[in-house]
Structure 1
Amino acid sequence: MADADDTISIVLADDHAVVRRGLRLVLDGEDDLEVLAEAGTIDDAVRLVKAHRPDVVVLDLNMPGSVASSLDVLPTLASEAPDTRVVVLTMQEDPQYARTALAAGANAYVLKEGADTELVEAIRHAAAGQVYLHPQLGARIAAAPAEPSGPPDDLTEREVEVLRLIALGHTNAEIGKQLFLSVRTVESHRAHIQQKLRRTTRAELVRYALDHGLVG
């Protein structure tokens, strides 16, 4: 939570040092903002948030680390530092990315191209427990249709078919017969599915299929 003097404490996480320096110059120019630490990887960001418990973490969407995306650490941050708000900083202008980030627990979604003018406002909104989106991006999200029920993790149509049959309890051999594929090809599809979804057991794949409406 913010201190009594209303100074908003921040952990700044971006894998490009030059970007961090530029952003820090902007943030340090504000009397009510204080950057406590900087991180260049997802793992360092999590460690520093746990250590400093800042009011806000500014989190680049794509950084190196032990998980595929910064969004994957949001549940960890919510558990370990529930009072820290998340401002996602990204180059992704696709409304679906913003929708996914907000659904995952981010409080603000800021495009890097406008960070020098938007980031301060986004941090203040997030610290107050409010949601911030650039008006134009917010309008695009409102206008864009929601992603259809199904997997958002870049699965191909064939992989969706294989995943659905796995969830229905079919063996690799049975899936191969239904889809006219060899068992080896089915095994390859299954491996790709597990890699993309970061789920390895059949129970995890079934839960994913249920959560995304692939099976009734």
Structure 2
Amino acid sequence: MNVVCPGTGAAASRTTVVLADDHLVVRAGMRLLLSQDETFDVVAESSTVAETLQAVQGHRPGVLVLDLTLGGRSSLPVIPEMLSASPGMRILILTMQEDPEFAREALRAGATGYLLKEAAGEELLAAARQVASGATYVQPAMGARLAMTGEAAGGTDVLTGREVEVLSLLAVGHTNQEIARRLYVSVRTVETHRARIRDKLHIRTRAELITAARERGLLT
């Protein structure tokens, strides 16, 4: 995108960025870091899913740096809508969620980068540059975990960490809606986890589900 450099009137090719995080300090740190790189121009910030959608629709940025939880709501289900609002936009997830299943879901939804908040500032810049260039960036440690869980998923009864959580909550009687609220994900994501659990463990009834949870030490 071409923007006018303040104070010069000269056009420069810079990537516009929207920062979406519900912690002001985190956004301030990201803004400071990105503003020191002439590659980027931070044009807006947001702290909720609704604000993020408005910012994306209004600015149509080149890159959206997005936390997976905004104001207590998961942003995962809204990724496709955000991409539709700004065709060609690239989404870099910056989150504390270490579960590789979150990374897999985000990438499946259309994100092109996944980075943990524990990463150094230099890695955030590198990830932003790579995503802006059209490439995909996954933090190396997370990429290794994705590969490992991907191999495990090829087995008949190996569950991911997130699937174990869902199984344990289902076994004690929580509904899909309650699980979604507890895990800060969409109901659809819970339903997907539930379907995968059933397929992997070959279970169809609630009694079989409870038995599977007890066999894995999830019930006392």
TM-score (norm 1): 0.69
Q: What are the within-5 Å matches in structure 2 for residues 1-216 of structure 1?
A: 2-3=1-2, 5-64=12-71, 68-144=73-149, 145-147=151-153, 152=163, 154-156=165-167, 159=170, 189=173, 192-196=175-179, 212=196, 214=198
SS in structure 2 of the partner of residue 36 of structure 1: strand
What's the CA shift for 1:48? Answer: 0.3
What's the CA shift for 1:21? Answer: 0.8
Identity of aligned residues (%): 39
What's the CA shift for 1:132? Answer: 0.3
Q: Cα 1:108–1:81, aligned 2, differ >3 Å: closer, same or farther?
A: same
1:182 corresponding residue in structure 2: none
What's the CA shift for 1:82? Answer: 2.2
2:210 corresponding residue in structure 1: none
Once the two structures are superposed, what CA deviation does each residue of 1:69-106 show, in whole Å capped at 9, x if it has no partner?
11111011122222211000011222222222111211
Once the two structures are superposed, what CA deviation does each residue of 1:45-67 show, in whole Å capped at 9, x if it has no partner?
111011100000100112116xx
Is the CA contact (8 Å cut-off) linking 1:14 and 1:39 kept in structure 2? yes
**Matched pairs, number:** 180
What's the CA shift for 1:142? Answer: 1.7
TM-score (norm 2): 0.68
SS in structure 1 of the partner of residue 119 of structure 2: helix
Q: Cα 1:146–1:35, aligned 2, differ >3 Å: closer, same or farther?
A: farther
Give the CA RMSD over aligned residues.
3.2
What's the CA shift for 1:143? Answer: 2.5
Is the CA contact (8 Å cut-off) linking 1:9 and 1:54 kept in structure 2? yes
